Amino acid sequence: MPTVSLHTLGCKLNTAETSTIGKQFVDRGFSVVDFGHPADVCVINTCSVTERADRECRQMVRRAIRTSGNPFVVVTGCYAQLEPAEVASIKGVDLVLGTKEKFDIFDHVGGLEKKLYPQVFVSGIETVDNFGVSYTTAVGDRTRAFLKVQDGCDYNCSFCTIPLARGASRSQTIEASVTQAQELVLHGFKEITLTGVNVGDYGKNTNANLLQLLHELVTVDGLERVRISSIEPNLLSDEMIAFVATQPKMCKHFHIPLQSGCDEILRLMRRRYTTTFYADLIHHIRGLIPECGIGVDVITGFPGETEAHFKAALQFIEGLPVSYLHVFTYSERPNTPAAGFGNQIEPKARFKRNEILREIGLKKKRSFYLSHIGRRVPVLTESDVEGGVRFGFTDNYVRVGLPASLVGANEIVAVEITGVEFDKCMGRIVKEKAAA
């Protein structure tokens, strides 16, 4: 039986798409093996948000060749779309597929024979209008499924390559999303995370909106939890927050990109809100859902970010009642307006600011975790076991460790949080029903 290994770089959306690509191989008689093990075909689904993501792609190609000898190597995803010639120049790559072509992989692989030169099939991004149905199809290491409901972005932030790599915003219908959610339940999943490039923009081409989709998804029999992935602050409506607050199946968790805590930098980034708007949104959520987990994306070292700007942003972020930070060091991306801005920040200063923000993020996360000690909460367990401890997540995205001997994977159990160790809570299983 021929074998294939798959590797995902980047976001949860990419993870869902890689799962769909893998299913195409399985349907054609391939056996899927872990990436890093010998395989006849290696597929790498790339990201290109930062220069580091591009570098990781090259490293993964080398790793595939090192572990598999002479595999047929396919590279697709955002990096392939943006820099097809650069990807094709990587030694060992056989096939480069763009955004439009990634789900038609078997139209291009031929007999999987390696040729003298790599083949490249990358359409112009302006021609991309297909959606590419994608969702996790088997319970494995993750027991929380990813369901792609939206793709592309019309926002054109000055630092971002996503519109160039994925095209215009587009969505699948509510009916299709509900059908796929029902299939995920049949596969054994209890929680679904809705993914996309700009999930809050869902439905603009289908005469629908995200709130309407949520109303339908919570009616799916057997589905215990629905989680929203990253959502833009200006698209998170009061009605949606109220629905999350009152609907038991909705996870009490939002991931809301901020990017900068300074209004002047937000304007340069072409973001669609102010720090005042953002702070009011966070406090509104906290007022309705005190236990809500709130994650924040922050970019530091953006062109023109002076020490005064950074200190103002730092003060703003420290004052936000949020649960954790995802901190990114600004990386110049080709063909973005910000790459041509003046006053580029020295890399050393960027990295120093990153470290400062990461430390604040760790403190916020620990404080949020400590506030859970003594609470009884439902935890969805996963496959991860370390030193006899099995891990899982609450609906507000707190990672909890439990005795692996007492609970299996993919179970929702009532847990009392007993303490905090490093980046996780520890808990004991209780028979009483946990508070939502």
pTM of the model: 0.92
Considering the domain architecture, whether residues 9 and 46 belong to the same structural domain is answered as: yes
Quick: pLDDT tens for 165-224: 999 999 999 999 999 999 999 999 999 999 999 999 999 889 999 999 999 999 999 999
Considering the domain architecture, whether residues 300 and 210 belong to the same structural domain is answered as: no
Say whether 410 sits in a helix, a strand or coil: coil
Domain's final residue, options 97, 127, 157: 127
CATH of the domain at 50: 3.40.50.12160
Residue 435 CA to residue 140 CA, distance in Å, equals 28
CB 385 within 8 A of CB 406: no
**Is residue 28, in this structure, part of any structural domain at all?**
yes
Domain's final residue, options 371, 390, 406: 371
Percent of residues, the chain, with pLDDT higher than 90: 84
Question: Can you give the pLDDT at residue 100?
Answer: 93
Angle at 356 between CA 355 and CA 361, to 5 degrees: 95
**Is residue 228, in this structure, part of any structural domain at all?**
yes
Residue 80 CA to residue 75 CA, distance in Å, equals 7
Say how many C-beta atoms besides its own lie within 10 A of residue 257's C-beta: 18
Say whether 46 sits in a helix, a strand or coil: strand
**Strand pairing report for 424-429 and 412-421:** antiparallel
Q: How far is CA 419 from CA 164, 359, 368, in A?
A: 45, 21, 12
CATH of the domain at 315: 3.30.750.200
Question: Radius of gyration over alpha carbons of the chain, in Å?
Answer: 22
- For residue 409, give its domain range: 376-429
User: Residues 392-426, buried b or exposed e (16+ Cβ, 10 A)?
Assistant: bbbbbbbbbbbebeeeebbbbbbbbbeebeeebbb
**Is residue 151, in this structure, part of any structural domain at all?**
yes
CATH of the domain at 230: 3.30.750.210
The two tokens of residue 142 are: 């993750």
Per-residue pLDDT tens listing for the chain (436 residues): 999 999 999 888 888 899 899 999 999 999 999 998 999 999 999 998 777 878 898 899 899 888 888 899 999 999 999 999 999 999 999 999 999 999 999 999 888 888 889 999 999 999 998 887 777 755 455 678 999 999 999 999 999 999 999 999 999 999 999 999 999 999 999 999 999 999 999 998 899 999 999 999 999 999 999 999 999 999 999 999 999 999 999 999 999 999 999 999 999 999 999 999 999 999 999 999 999 999 999 999 999 999 999 999 999 999 999 999 999 999 999 999 999 999 999 999 999 999 999 999 999 999 999 999 999 999 999 988 999 999 999 999 999 999 999 999 999 999 999 999 988 999 999 975 555 5
Query: Can you spell out the DSSP letters for 206-260?
Result: TT--HHHHHHHHTTSTT--EEEE----GGG--HHHHHHHHH-TTB-SEEE---B-
**Is residue 164, in this structure, part of any structural domain at all?**
yes
Considering the domain architecture, whether residues 410 and 365 belong to the same structural domain is answered as: no
Considering the domain architecture, whether residues 350 and 314 belong to the same structural domain is answered as: yes
Number of independent structural domains in the chain: 4
CB 195 within 8 A of CB 147: yes
| Residue of 19, 406, 398, 18 whose CA lies nearest to 189 | 19
